[in-house]
């Protein structure tokens, strides 16, 4: 199965993505994690993206897309994958659609994980990541609202909304149920 998980920073997206990918037996492809691994490893890509990641700005689309193309072309992604943190805007979504159309392997489901703003802020401030300064958090939330929420319309008919408030296991159960629910004739997801 080929899936996306979308949600604001702090909605528990990374945690739920890891659990979902494990349950489905597909790789969890997080662009943020891939960038951070490159930063930590001091790779050429890491040096190229450092200023963007540190400040909470988006890395240029082309750089990000090349990295995603490389990752989803690896053998473990043959049966499917869960993209987390990508696409982040319509340009990236158009690119992904074109790439996957070429493989006759479109995105089948989009999980939208939501939570109220106050829950999001509390969670982000408590996770203690290096790029979790108030400025970077605010910038990422702003970018999310401006550039990422249009993806919900873009993937209309494949999107399932999941409430991200609650215990990790409970939210995971909701996510699994949503992903497994069949599409109706109208292309909407039930439940």
> Applying CB under 6 A, which residues contact ligand AMP?
9, 31-32, 35, 52-53, 56-59, 64, 85-86, 88, 92, 140
C-alpha span between 36 and 33 (Å, rounded): 5
Point out the residue whose Cβ comes nearest to ligand AMP. 32
CB of 52 vs ligand AMP, minimal distance in Å: 4
User: Taking a C-beta distance cutoff of 8 angstroms, is the pair 18, 3 a contact?
Assistant: no
**In the annotation, is 140 catalytic?**
yes
Q: Is 109 helix (H, G, I), strand (E, B) or coil?
A: strand
109 forms beta bridges with: 3
Q: Could you confirm whether 88 is annotated as catalytic? A: yes
Which entry of 13, 71, 109, 158 is annotated as an active-site residue? Answer: 13
Left, alpha or beta for 128 (phi > 0: left; psi -120 to 50: alpha)?
left
129 is annotated as an active-site residue: yes
Annotated active-site residue in 2, 88, 158, 174:
88
* Closer of 95 and 189 to ligand AMP (Cβ): 95
Q: Cα(107)–Cα(29) distance, rounded to whole angstroms?
A: 14
Given the residues 2, 71, 109, 140, select the one marked as catalytic: 140
Give catalytic residue positions: 13, 88, 127, 129, 140
């Amino acid at each position: 199965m080929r899936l996306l998980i979308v949600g604001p920073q702090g909605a528990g997206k990374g945690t739920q993505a890891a659990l979902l990918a494990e349950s489905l037996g597909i790789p969890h492809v997080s662009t943020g994690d891939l960038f951070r691994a490159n930063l930590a490893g001091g790779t050429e890509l890491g040096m190229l993206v450092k200023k963007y990641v540190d400040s909470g700005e988006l890395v240029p689309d082309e750089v990000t897309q090349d990295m995603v193309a490389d990752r989803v072309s690896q053998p473990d992604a043959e049966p499917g994958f869960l993209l987390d943190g990508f696409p982040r805007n319509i340009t990236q979504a158009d690119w992904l659609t074109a790439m996957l159309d070429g493989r006759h392997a479109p995105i089948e489901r989009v999980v939208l994980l939501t939570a109220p703003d106050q829950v999001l802020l509390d969670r982000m401030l408590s996770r203690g990541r290096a790029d979790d300064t108030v400025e970077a958090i605010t910038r990422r939330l702003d970018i999310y609202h401006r550039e990422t929420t249009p993806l919900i319309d873009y993937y209309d008919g494949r999107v399932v909304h999941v409430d991200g408030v609650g215990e990790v296991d409970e939210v995971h159960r909701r996510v699994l149920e949503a992903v497994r629910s069949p599409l109706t004739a109208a292309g909407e997801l039930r439940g």
